[in-house]
Structures are given as structure tokens and as C-alpha cells.
Amino acid sequence: MHESSRACVAQFVETHLTSRQGTALRILGIGSPSNGDDFADLFDHEGWQFVNLDVQSDHSVDSEPDHSFDVIVCGEALTLLARPWEAITEWARLLVDDGLLCVVAPGAGPEHDGRGDHFRFLPDGLAALVRSAGLAPVEIAQAASTGWHDDSAVSADSMVIAVKAEPAERLGSRTVVAAPTADTPDASGFEKAASVWSTSTQVRSGESYEAEHARRTEWTYHPLVAARLDERGGGPFFEWVARAIGNPDAKLVSIGCGAAAFEVDLLIHKVVGSLVLVDIADGSLDQARAKAAAAGVIDRITFASTPITASTIGMYLEGVDVVFATDSLHHIAHVGDVITVIHDAMRPGTRFIARDYVGPNRFAFEPEVLEVARSTYRALSDTVRSPWPDLSVPDPVEVERFDPTEAIDSEAIIPSLRALFSDCEIIPIGGALSHVIWYSLDHDAVFETEEGRRAVGEVMDQEDQLMAAGRLPSYFVRFIATR
């Protein structure tokens, strides 16, 4: 078995199964004549039963009933199968609901002699295969191209991790399984894969440059912007929320949670004890279900698909310790009424924690803000502000036509909080300059060129200065309101 293949399986165990140690799991390991049960020891934990199958032996899993295994792992054997899509469909049959499949396969390398060698697989190809079997990919990875002690670099191993959950959703992210360092004593001692991450590898399965470009249009996606917002807001958002909650047993309800990746992470990292996830879009909640199932925490989550109004939200607030919202309140009509219901349902000591846009409704920015933004934009170089010769200003009518919920009642958020909560900390994090000009920038330039990155830093510096001087409001805030 290639060292990189073993590293991929080790990464799967650490990132997706560590939280399930001590629970009963039945695991099917699918190997080849060359690797046997070379990764069986990675699953040697109390309560875990590992069953090994050689794909070219006389044995098969045809006689196994549906839903027989919690986890299925295939290391390097897929390339030996003439019809790999049929095999993955069979493995999907054997998985329990919310069960996990991990497949590692070579993406390159010479043909194997004497035992059949049919395919090579890229990460996106593996993701397409598991989708065809009705599984939902949650992560793809590819081994590093250098640094292995054996011939792993030649094989260019790919990996997909998928969950048996419907409907099949897009992947979260691509990672790279790193090679062992020079300090690693030998290949056999390398059991733990390191995950490395860079902007250039943040792509999604089946997506192209256009998808990455679309993400770049979001101002908070830029690392310099995100870092400055965290600095203004009191620290990285996850850490700030964890400190604000301060109770690992807390029951948290998230309002307008979307795909709820952040909230599920709070549960995985034991910042909270349970979740109630509320969103109007059941498709987004399906993504949350897939991630929670893959992490083994779905049993501590209640899902609710419903419009968020003053008449519907109250039933989900009973007995909660934390009310949470990220970038969702500004999409709620009559948000003041909803905040009133939240306040009235909260018990003494309950906290309402959020981050949101609180600027003008429908992005109808004030003339004095636009004057500063236009002046700043014109001072940027052509390469940064191209292709727009002048600042593009949102038309509130077009904003409403494009998304009827966008900033529908954002101006009411802060006044409602102040009217209802005597204990309310509101932390300004900016945006009245950087957010306003962002959508007229050349987004590839600000990510990929030194001049572009320098321009982003200068804009954020200017925003700091103007906010400190009282010349700019803060269109985005974090807040903690305590009952």
C-alpha cells in the first residue's frame, strides 16, 4: 500500500471518526492483493469491528444485507475493478443511513502487471462516482506530489469521503494530504496525515473558475478583509462566539442558519451541547444534515424548515440558552417584531449573539458615504478598479427585484435591540467604505496581485481612520444582548 494512500485513510479516521471512538462501529475495509489489511490498525479502537475484503478473492459482499456497515473504506483497490461504478453502488447499499464511505485511488502511475488495471481517478472523478451511487460527497483530497519515502508521488493518490444522505450535495472543500517531513523516522511510523490549505486549493467539486470568481465577489472572502473585521470585532469570529457562549452544555438555536457549517462546527468542537437549526430553505438544511452526519453529531440537532416570522419563531425558542444569527437578520421582514418575540422568550441570563448588516435598507447608501467611497475608488489604480471606470452604486429597486429579502428591514435591527435590551454590547466592524466599493473592484486583481492586496489594506486603513473620526458609520456589527 502506498504511503500516501495510508496517509489519506489516516486523515479520514482523524477528521471524521475520532469523535466516534468508544461507540460501536462496523467497518468494511476493501483492499487489494498488494495491500491486504495494511490500514486495519487505523481502525483498532474499542467498539470498532473491522472486516477486511480482498476485491480479487473468492469472497464477496453480495450476501450481506442492506445497511450492514457504518463505515466502508477502499484503499487503492478501485483501479482493479472493471466496473467501479457498480462496486460503489453496492457499497452504498451496504452503508447504514448516515454511514461514511472513504475511497482512495491512484490518479496516475504505471500500469500494474498481471491483475487487471483499468482506471486512474482525479478527486472530482471520485466525487462524480459516489454521487452516481446516491451518496453525498463531503470532502475530496489529493496527496502531495513530493516528499514521500516510497513511490507515492508517482501514484498521485486521490480521495473522496461521502455520506449516505439524500439529496447528494456539493463538497465543502478540497484539501491536500501532505507528505511526511524529513523528521519522520520511516514510512511505517507515519500514521497521521497533516492537512495543508491555501487559497489556490479552495475549490469545490465540479466547479470551475467561475465559481471561485463568484466567491471572490464577497468582500469577507478576502483574507485581509476578514482579518481586519476580526481585529475590530474582538478576535476571530469562532473564538469570539465561543467566549460569548461560555457554556459547553448550552442549547443554541440558530435563526436563518443556511447550511449551518459554522453552527455544526460549534457542536463538533464542544462549544455547545445541542443545536436547533431554523431556516426557510430545506436544501440548505440538507447540507447541514450531511455535515452533521459525517461528524457523528446529527443526534444532537433539531432541524426546522420554516419561514422566519414573529408568529413562527417563538416555538423554537423554548428552553434555549443561546439565540444565534449570522448575516440573516437583515433578510427578515418586520425584524423588530421578530426581535421582540426573541426577547420575550429569553430566560434571564440567555444571550442573543449575532453578526449582521445593519446599514440602509436595500443598500440605499447615504450621500455622504457615497461621496467618500467614490473619492477612494477613483484614487485606486486602473488595474484594481477595472473594468468599472467609476463606482457602481446599487439601485434599491434593482436590489429588491433581484432578492426581495435583501436588506429588507436592516435599519430596524439596532434600534430594536437598544429598545428591548438594557444589557446589549454592539461592536462596530465597519463596511461603510470597504463593502460599498468592493463590488466595483477587479476581484482577481485584489486576490492575485501584490498591488491589489496592497490596495485592499489601504482601503481598510482608511476605513479605520474615518470610523475613528466619526465620518463613517459601521454598516456591519457584532452584538451580544443578554436578557
So where are the chain's domains? 3-207, 215-482
- For residue 184, name the pLDDT band (cuts at 50, 70, 90): very low
Q: Which of 452, 48, 431 is nearest to 228 (CA)?
A: 431
**How far apart, in whole angstroms, are the C-alpha atoms of residue 294 and residue 72?**
13
Asked if residue 153 has pLDDT above 70, the reply is yes
- For residue 466, name the pLDDT band (cuts at 50, 70, 90): very high
Query: What local confidence, expressed as pLDDT, does residue 453 receive?
Result: 92
The two domains 3-207 and 215-482 share their CATH topology (first three levels equal): yes
Query: What local confidence, expressed as pLDDT, does residue 199 receive?
Result: 28
Query: What local confidence, expressed as pLDDT, does residue 439 receive?
Result: 86
Query: Over the chain, what is the mean pLDDT?
Result: 85
- For residue 36, name the pLDDT band (cuts at 50, 70, 90): very low
Query: What local confidence, expressed as pLDDT, does residue 52 receive?
Result: 85
Which of 8-12, 197-201, 460-464 has the largest mean confidence? 460-464
Q: Which H or E element spans position 445?
A: helix 443-448
Scanning the structure block, which residue is given the C-alpha cell 452503508?
95
Asked if residue 134 has pLDDT above 80, the reply is yes
Query: What local confidence, expressed as pLDDT, does residue 60 receive?
Result: 57
Task: Determine the 3-state secondary structure of 302 from DSSP.
Answer: strand
Instruction: Provide mean pLDDT across the span 37-50.
Output: 84
Residue 158 · residue 142 · CB < 8 Å: yes
- For residue 19, name the pLDDT band (cuts at 50, 70, 90): confident
Instruction: Provide mean pLDDT across the span 434-462.
Output: 92
Least confident of 158-167, 182-191, 219-228: 182-191
Superfamily of domain 3-207: Vaccinia Virus protein VP39 (3.40.50.150)
Tell me the pTM.
0.60
Let me know the angle formed at the C-alpha of 124 by 123 and 129, rounded to the nearest 5 degrees.
100
Long-range contacts of 237-246 (CB under 8 A, 24+ apart): 237/262, 237/355, 237/478, 238/262, 238/265, 238/266, 240/478, 241/266, 241/271, 241/324, 241/353, 242/266, 242/269, 242/271, 244/351, 244/353, 244/480, 245/271, 245/272, 245/321, 245/322, 245/351, 245/353
Which of 49-58, 66-75, 364-373, 448-457 has the largest mean confidence? 364-373
Asked if residue 37 has pLDDT above 70, the reply is no
pLDDT per position as a tens digit, 355-395: 999 999 999 999 999 999 999 999 998 889 877 778 988 89
- The two beta strands, 69-75 and 136-143, are unpaired
**How far apart, in whole angstroms, are the C-alpha atoms of residue 265 and residue 480?**
20
Of 447 and 147, the structure prediction assigns the larger pLDDT to: 447
Instruction: Provide mean pLDDT across the span 135-145.
Output: 82
Of 11 and 337, the structure prediction assigns the larger pLDDT to: 337
- For residue 174, name the pLDDT band (cuts at 50, 70, 90): low
Query: What local confidence, expressed as pLDDT, does residue 140 receive?
Result: 84
**How far apart, in whole angstroms, are the C-alpha atoms of residue 277 and residue 304?**
6
Q: Which fold has domain 215-482?
A: Rossmann fold (3.40.50)
Asked if residue 256 has pLDDT above 80, the reply is yes
Query: What local confidence, expressed as pLDDT, does residue 185 receive?
Result: 38
Residue 52 CB-half CA count within 13 A: 16
Tally the residues of the chain. 483
Asked if residue 56 has pLDDT above 90, the reply is no
- The values of phi and psi at residue 89, to 5°, are -65, -40
Q: Which of 92, 104, 105 is nearest to 163 (CA)?
A: 92
Instruction: Provide mean pLDDT across the span 325-339.
Output: 96
User: How many other C-beta atoms can be found within 10 angstroms of the C-beta atom of residue 204?
Assistant: 18
